[in-house]
Structure 1
Amino acid sequence: MSSFFAFLHHVAAFALVAALSVEFVLIKGDLTAASARKVRLADLALGASASTLLVVGFLRVFFFEKGASYYFHSVPFIAKLSLFVLLALVSIYPTIVFQSWEKALKQGRVPSVDPRKLRAIRTVIHLELVGVVLIMLFAALMAHGVGYLG
């Protein structure tokens, strides 16, 4: 069962990176009604994969793997979890903007977006991508026992 949850955790992580990459590519160019719809779908996939990653990750921490006592004495784990939560909070802004496009898209129009908002969204997506790389670093450190305080 532990292997199955490890598999689910990895699938969710790869899905998260894929969804974030799709958002990155689509928001980079000129916004069209079609690309706006795709961005919204990618953001939905991002949210679903992040939720799955968090739930499965906590199941692994508390019921499978090495146990909560081990993980909560690991500096890289705490850093990884903290960064994940921070990125989740930062990602609320793009999601709210993407959701605000619904009315225009239902009318077949391109959503009107202030260029400053688009720059801010691009910045958030860049930060999320950097954050994912750092999370992978923390995961590797954690897996090798670096920073364990027990």
Structure 2
Amino acid sequence: MTINAIVAFLHFVAAFGVVSSLFMEWLTFKRQLTVFEARRIQRADMIYGISAGLVIVFGLLRVFYFEKGSQYYFSNSFFTLKLVLFLFVGLLSVYPTIRFLKWRTKTDVNKAPEIAEQEYKFITWILNLEMIGLFFVIFAASMMAKGIDF
């Protein structure tokens, strides 16, 4: 029982890491960034990726080795929706991550990245979609946890 609680705790901590780091990116990203802000986004994106990976690892452990068993989860529509949305948000995050990594050539020499208007609009649109997607992931997780199905 104790290991079950610890794995659940780690799953929740990782999920909070995903939400808080994406929120930091969303809040900080703007057309004219300082070097400090660009580095903050890069760090937040690194935490975002690590946290997302840990959510998957601890989530799989919970589904297959703890909790109610894989049969319960995979027969619940909200669980499936949660997985699909989480995957969708993860795929959306690839483009901004690549862009943020490319900023290193600038931030490593204490220069702020230059962001074209079109790129700014596109990344802003993606970050907004990711935030909306995570909102619905949390909703689906709540419904699933209470045994609600559709």
Instruction: Settle same-fold status: TM greater than 0.5.
Output: yes
2:59 corresponds to which of 42, 57, 60: 57
Partner amino acid, structure 2, of 1:69? Q
Deviations 1:42-63 (A, max 9, x none): 0000001111011100110000
TM-score w.r.t. the length of structure 2 is 0.94
Counterpart residue number, 1:111: 113
2:147 corresponds to which of 135, 145, 148: 145
Could you say what the CA RMSD is over the residues aligned between the two structures, in angstroms? 1.2
2:14 corresponds to which of 12, 15, 24: 12
Q: Aligned partners of 1:87, 1:52: CA distance in 2, in Å?
A: 15
Deviations 1:92-129 (A, max 9, x none): 00000001111111222111221111111111111111
SS at match of 1:111: coil
Counterpart residue number, 1:76: 78
Q: Aligned partners of 1:136, 1:111: CA distance in 2, in Å?
A: 33
- Are 1:86 and 2:88 counterparts? yes
Q: Aligned partners of 1:28, 1:135: CA distance in 2, in Å?
A: 26
- Are 1:135 and 2:141 counterparts? no
2:25 corresponds to which of 23, 26, 43: 23
Q: Aligned partners of 2:63, 2:4: CA distance in 1, in Å?
A: 11
Give the 4+ runs in structure 1 shifted more than 2 A: none
Q: Aligned partners of 1:97, 1:40: CA distance in 2, in Å?
A: 10
2:45 corresponds to which of 43, 46, 49: 43
Partner amino acid, structure 2, of 1:93? Y
TM-score w.r.t. the length of structure 1 is 0.94
Gaps of 5+ in 1: none
For these two proteins, the number of residue pairs brought into alignment is: 148
The answer to whether the 8 Å contact 2:85/2:137 transfers is: yes
Gaps of 5+ in 2: none
Partner amino acid, structure 1, of 2:130? E
Post-superposition offset of 1:30: 2.7
Percent of paired sites with the same residue: 38
Q: Aligned partners of 1:32, 1:45: CA distance in 2, in Å?
A: 20
The answer to whether the 8 Å contact 2:42/2:100 transfers is: yes
Q: Aligned partners of 1:25, 1:141: CA distance in 2, in Å?
A: 28
